[in-house]
Amino acid sequence: MDDKNEQLQQEAARLAEKVKGDTAEPGAVEKPGLASRMLRGFGKWVVYAVAALLVIYVIKPAIYEHMDASAAAEMTEAEKQESMGLPLKISKPPQGKSTTLNREELRWMAMMDIKLEAMRPHINQYNNKAIDEFNAMINEYNARCGEFRYRRSDLQTVRNEMEKYQEQIKQKAREEVQAKGWDKAPEKSKK
């Protein structure tokens, strides 16, 4: 009988363990520890940061480029001439100091930087008229861009845009020098 009694006690103990296990709610999940919650929170912030960087450095510049291209399509002939045929909206900044330049004005400044540097070596040093007109262009540039403010992201975007068109701007500048006759020595007047 002791054996039967012992078997009954063992069976009762097993049933008691089974009942304890069944009293926990079915499908209940233990709460994650502090480290696990911190890693999940950190992971969320990483995803947010990557999304923000994607918007700032990829999507926003693509949208601006599309907007600029559509604005360039609506330019007048005078504006197209001023922009040297580039497919970007370009406008001269106002004269004055401490003005804040927008992207169109920053493009004019960047284009003129490239243009003036490309023109300089092709101007005949003995052609006083050419030198005076070139110096007038430099004076206009300095009056408009000598001291200005800008958004850092706008300036970087404009520099990247203008880098694509640098050779085209240089070629147009050399053609302008030739068309104006600045590359030739002045004609000597006959007495």
Give the residue, 69 or 129, on which the prediction is more confident: 129
pLDDT one-digit tens code per residue, 32-53? 777 778 888 888 888 888 888 8
Q: Cα separation of 133 and 119, whole Å?
A: 12
What is the average per-residue pLDDT within 146-175?
87
Contact, 131 vs 123, CB < 8 A?
yes
Look over the chain and give the mean of its residue pLDDT values, rounded to a whole number: 79
What per-residue confidence (pLDDT) applies to 46? 87
Q: Cα separation of 86 and 171, whole Å?
A: 12
On the question of pLDDT at 120 being above 70, the answer is yes
What per-residue confidence (pLDDT) applies to 47? 87
Q: What percent of the chain has pLDDT over 70?
A: 76
- The candidate with the shortest Cα–Cα distance to 92, out of 24, 164, 140, 20, is 140
Give the residue, 7 or 29, on which the prediction is more confident: 7
What per-residue confidence (pLDDT) applies to 118? 93
Contact, 181 vs 129, CB < 8 A?
no
Quick one: tokens of 105?
A: 């004005």
What is the average per-residue pLDDT within 173-189?
84
On the question of pLDDT at 25 being above 60, the answer is no
Give the residue, 11 or 118, on which the prediction is more confident: 118
φ/ψ of 99, rounded to 5, equals -85, 150
On the question of pLDDT at 16 being above 60, the answer is yes
DSSP letter (8 states) at residue 121: G
What per-residue confidence (pLDDT) applies to 161? 86
pLDDT one-digit tens code per residue, 74-111? 555 555 545 556 777 888 888 877 778 888 888 888 99
